[in-house]
Chains A and B, each alone.
Chain A
Amino acid sequence: MKEKKPSTVRHKQEVAGWLFLLLGTVLIIIFQFWPMISAFLTSFKTGSAANMKFADPIVFNYSRMMKDKLFVTSLKNTFLYLIVQVPIMLLVALLLAHLLNNKDLKFRGVFRTCVFLPCSISLVSYSLIFKSLFATQGLINSILMKLHLISDNINWLGTTSTARMVIIIALIWRWTGYNMVFYLAGMQNIEYSLYEAARIDGADGWKTFWHITVPLLKPVIIMTVILSINGTLQLFDESVNLTGGGPAGTTQTMSHYIYNNAFGTGVANFGYASAMSFVVFIMVAILAVINLKVGDTRD
């Protein structure tokens, strides 16, 4: 008897532990993992939604992708946004956090709130705001005209290069403050006395920034890099609402193109869309692994 009681209690606790996490786990499996597997299977099929068959050859959708100019453009666009926007944004965010972490600075709260404010705006809303700002008959053009910097209105969103630039500017605007908050939180864990010691040793702002802040924040920086890559590879709202993917699909992101193939007007090409979405998944996974590895070896 005496021995049995504790073991049933422990058994009960054991069961309770699993019960607590059961619902959350099952829901993730049903609504994330299973759809991912299902999308992988669908990626080998062709035909319309109701009547899908395995493709012949089986990799048909994947080989089609490489020959699909619009897909290649969307792939290039996504990587352009990634390569240009993410480094600028993260450097500015890091610099802002470094400046705001100075205890001598006044109005820190005000500055922080202002820089963080864009995070309160939904992706669709800010896309529409930037679309209006950069409209041919919009504020940016009218300011540039008044300053006599341009003589004719620029068709920002109707020209491929400037439309891509507007997307990048908009992304930097929306996400810099978000990343800054991560860095500020990470900096709370850095002893302030380190900075004071460095200052007594005569190190200026730049030196403390590169030699104290950046190395000590490495884990947080890696996390923000992964989050940013993940987010950028999945860009959708901005492409749809800011430029509409235009002109002629030249600013379109992968997610936007995939969506159009699956749910756009015309045939619902679930097989092809699934194949492309699986490519996005592979890229997210590869880049995340690379980042984690880079983070490991520098230790």
Chain B
Amino acid sequence: MTNKKQKSDMSASQKRLIPSYIFLTIVSILSVFPIYWMMTAATNNTADVARGKMFFGTEAATNFTNLVKETNLWQGMGNSFKYAAIQTILCLIVCSLAGYGFELYHDEKKDLLFGILLMGMMIPGVATMIPLFSMMSHLHLLNTSAGFVLPAVSTPFMIMMFRQNSRNFPVDIFEAARIDGLSEFAIFYKMYMPIMKATYAAAAVIIFMNAWNSYLWPRVVMTENKAQTMPILIANMANGYSVDYGKLMMGVLFSTIPTLVIFFVLQKRFTEGITGAVK
């Protein structure tokens, strides 16, 4: 009896959810479709794309060959990986150190300083790009990894994320380690870093994605072809009067694969990273 009643309750509540299911299904299809279409277009020739073909075709090899022949695809992929990897590592080190310092050693002065640094989040990239360009040009850092990553190695957002998450770091371990005679820095890399693995992973995902996808600053500082990143490469492909859509979408697919893989493999970390500041 009770089982039966529960069952009918269940179906009643499911019935009430029908509008939700319909709405969510529509939104899901709309969300996924442009990405699905990009993948199909990468396998079709430009005439089929223009005709509105929505299914996978047989031109993937041709599009790929044209892409490799007519653009510096591997150089672009290599550059993007190199800059994003360097930026991720340096940003993790610098921002975790700072976040740790601001949280575990916090006092009035440090809290005030942190508040001031947070205001940096409001500084628009378009405002700093001109002075930064002049700076990099004077230092001969245009078209170098250093020029690409330096402005993004320390960001208020990442410091904030590590500062917030450092609240989960057990203070008694910290005190115990001090009594055991571990130096302040040894506590950081022997205890803090291993315990905070999850935060590091989430932060790494966010930093890597941001670096991989960044467009305005690389366009300013990477003035030469050999320093080109993937976003610049595909953006340049779309300029011009006759665009080969099959080839273009193959390029877009390549610039998207790394972030798509990260998204699916590390979705949990990705959400944690984005929402790291909500805690």
**Count of A-B contacts with CB under 8 A?**
283
The answer on a CB contact under 8 Å between B128 and A132 is no
Identify which of A35, A105, A182, A240 gathers the most chain B CB atoms within 10 Å of its CB. Answer: A35
> A192 at the A/B interface (Cβ < 8 Å)?
no
The answer on a CB contact under 8 Å between B54 and A139 is yes
> B259 at the A/B interface (Cβ < 8 Å)?
yes
Residues on the A chain within 8 Å of B153, using CB? 27, 31
The answer on a CB contact under 8 Å between B105 and A139 is no
The answer on a CB contact under 8 Å between B255 and A28 is no
Convert B205-227 into 0s and 1s, putting 1 for each residue whose CB lies closer than 8 angstroms to a CB of A. 00001001101100110000000
> B164 at the A/B interface (Cβ < 8 Å)?
no
The answer on a CB contact under 8 Å between A23 and B154 is yes
Residues on the B chain within 8 Å of A254, using CB? 126
With A35-B131, A96-B27 already in contact, the answer to whether A18 and B101 are too (CB < 8 A) is yes
Dominant SS at the A interface? helix
Complex alpha-carbon distance, A178 and B110, angstroms: 31
Residues on the A chain within 8 Å of B110, using CB? 17-18, 21
Convert B235-256 into 0s and 1s, putting 1 for each residue whose CB lies closer than 8 angstroms to a CB of A. 1001000010100110010011
Convert B20-35 into 0s and 1s, putting 1 for each residue whose CB lies closer than 8 angstroms to a CB of A. 1101110111111011
Complex alpha-carbon distance, A111 and B245, angstroms: 30
Residues on the B chain within 8 Å of A23, using CB? 94, 97-98, 154
With A18-B101, A129-B252, A142-B52 already in contact, the answer to whether A280 and B24 are too (CB < 8 A) is no
Convert A126-140 into 0s and 1s, putting 1 for each residue whose CB lies closer than 8 angstroms to a CB of B. 101111110101110
Complex alpha-carbon distance, A111 and B26, angstroms: 10
Chain B residue nearest in CB terms to A234: B124
The 3 closest A-B pairs by CB, nearest first: A17-B105, A20-B101, A142-B52
A-B contact pairs, 26 of them (CB 8 A): A13-B184, A20-B184, A23-B154, A27-B94, A32-B123, A42-B130, A105-B21, A106-B14, A115-B27, A119-B263, A122-B212, A122-B215, A122-B231, A128-B234, A128-B238, A129-B252, A130-B34, A139-B37, A230-B124, A259-B129, A262-B129, A262-B130, A263-B219, A270-B134, A274-B130, A277-B129
* Chain B interface residues toward A at CB < 8 A: 10, 13-14, 17, 20-21, 23-25, 27-32, 34-35, 37-38, 41, 49-52, 54, 94-95, 97-102, 104-105, 107, 110, 113, 117, 120-135, 150-151, 153-156, 159, 178, 184-185, 188, 209, 212-213, 215-216, 219-220, 231, 234-235, 238, 243, 245, 248-249, 252, 255-256, 259-260, 262-263, 267, 270-271, 274-275, 277-278
